[in-house]
Structure 1
Amino acid sequence: MTESTARTSAVPAPTTAELVRSACARATDAVLAVEGVANAVETTVTALHHVQGSGDVVVSVPLDSPAATATWPAIGVTPTAMLEITDLAPLPLREPVRALVWLRGTLHPVPATEIRALLDDIAAEHPHPGLLDVGHTAVLLRLVLSSVIIADSQGAEPVSVRELVDATPDPFWEAETDWLRHLESDHADLVAALSRRLPAALRRGRVRPLGVDRFGIRLRVEREHDDGTACDTDVRLPFGAPVHDVAGLSRAIRALAGCVFLNGLRARST
């Protein structure tokens, strides 16, 4: 079980729509559930998913999958579908799921005349090896959204499609995995210093880097109750101001940790 305080504007953080966009951008695990004949639900693991600027979501699925066959024009219906996206932590945490995103809407085939341009657009934003399978073993489908929900340690919250369209992923979404792994494996001293900013009761647990964005860093504190059951807590430590590049991110983390050697300063040699 993971605990956290409710979302509050008092702590600078990404908007809920930005959280959804970031989770969709970095997550590789997604399942498409399609409502078929007689309300039967068929699921398909997607090879890739991509949120377009319009708010539609393009997914790639195997040619012989239930999702692909459900959109055949011969069926004469437009199936309802839900894409479940799992945002996993980059580190091997006791509870690895950071968030779940549910994108619901209607599923449509992508016309053959639009596929090449669509593949080029997706590749320009985020090249993905699964794009090479389209037209061979995979097919592109378009999910036209009607509702968006995200659930994490702070609860579940809906996001309007308009908010999703207007939002962008956090600038550090792509580098986050490598950055957090490097922080834990090579900078235990910084993690220990950050943990000293936590309430005293949380310092007795194992503190792990959970996430980072332009507004701050999130830590996971893995603890146990007196009876031995898990009692994990997520805590956000905000930066003094939003950051926009890797150099600024490094300075902000060191400032949070109380490091006096910032902006290239070094200790005086003896």
Structure 2
Amino acid sequence: MGVRQIASAVPTTAVRARSVLAAAWTCGVTTDVGQDDLVGAHCVTDGGTVRIAPPPDSVLAAAVLCSPHGRPTALLEFADAAPVPVRDRVRARLWLSGELVPEGPIGSEMVLHLRRAVLQTRTERIGVDLDELAAAAPDPLALAEPRLLTHLADAHPEAIEQLTRLITPDSLHGVVRVQPLAVDRHGLTLRLERTRGQADVRIPFHSPADDLTALTERMHCLLASAQAVSRRRR
């Protein structure tokens, strides 16, 4: 298993982390009191600051009451899962650790004073520079990615099959299914599933796609390239 990149243009670690934050709807919170899985309880500002409104019956709310000055230390976990059903669906995990500080009365919205950030991908675990994280913006396609990939998988399986022409034939040996795994401004990643195991192949765009119009053009270019490869192989 692994990722084969046809080109080196990929989002930076800070951009990847910000993209996970932007798209995540759930958040795992671990404190000295216990662990919570919160749904829809957090938000992220443009500068990457995480705010949490702890539900009154949550373990986090109890941790706030038990902590000096109502400022518990916490580890937050955000999972980045592929929107299309594939094996090993979690593409990355982001951990943020620091102190949760109330903005108002204890039990109100809290702000994470970040001390450390770590991004875990399928291939490595990387510490994220906090200044770079604060300065980074999410990938421009991050919020649209779920519907884009779901539409590609459900409505255009023939396009996915065509895109495999851009992958070396040896890489396709034993492949039983191909699914779109991820897309960002720099390229599309396909998951190649075999009877045993899988691999990911990244297909780069000729230039970054910073909006949906540009993405449509980049995808058309990839499909045109795939058709040209098919003609050459006949």
> TM-score by structure 2 length?
0.86
Structure 2 match to 1:47: 39
Gaps of 5+ in 1: 37-41, 113-137, 225-229, 262-270
Conservation of the 8 A alpha-carbon contact between 1:27 and 1:88: no
CA contact (8 A) 2:29 2:77 kept: yes
Distance 1:54 1:255 in 2: 34
Structure 2: which 5+ residue stretches go unaligned? 228-234
Deviation of the 1:53 alpha carbon: 3.9
SS at 1:13 equivalent: coil
Q: Deviations over 1:3-37 (max 9, x none)?
A: 225x89x511111100011111112232100124x
Question: Which residue of 96, 103, 106 corresponds with 2:96?
Answer: 103
Q: Residue in 2 aligned with 1:265?
A: none
Residues 153 and 234, structure 1, Cα contact 8 Å, conserved in 2: no
**Paired position in structure 1 for 2:117:** 148
Q: Compute the displacement of 1:76 (Å).
A: 4.2
- CA change 1:159–1:143 in 2 (3 A) is same
Q: Please give the alpha-carbon distance, in whole angstroms, between the structure 2 residues aligned to 1:50 and 1:243.
A: 26
- Give the C-alpha shift of residue 186 in structure 1: 1.1
The alpha-carbon distance between structure 1 residues 46 and 74, as it changes in their structure 2 partners (threshold 3 A), is closer
CA RMSD of aligned residues (A): 2.5
Per the TM alignment, residue 197 of structure 1 is displaced from its structure 2 partner at its CA by 1.3
TM-score (norm 1): 0.76
Letter in 2 for 1:17: A
What CA deviation, in whole Å up to 9, does each residue of 1:62-82 have, x standing for no partner?
A: 112121122238744632211
In 2, Cα distance between equivalents of 1:11 and 1:260 = 20
- Within a 5 Å distance, the mapping from 1:3-14 to structure 2 comes to 3-5=2-4, 11-14=8-11
Q: Partner of 1:63: helix, strand, or coil?
A: coil
Instruction: Determine the C-alpha separation between the residues in 2 that align with 1:18 and 1:160.
Output: 11
Counting aligned pairs with the same residue, the percent is: 33
Which residue is 1:209 aligned to?
Answer: 180
How many residues align? The count is 224
Cα separation, 1, equivalents of 2:19 and 2:81 = 12
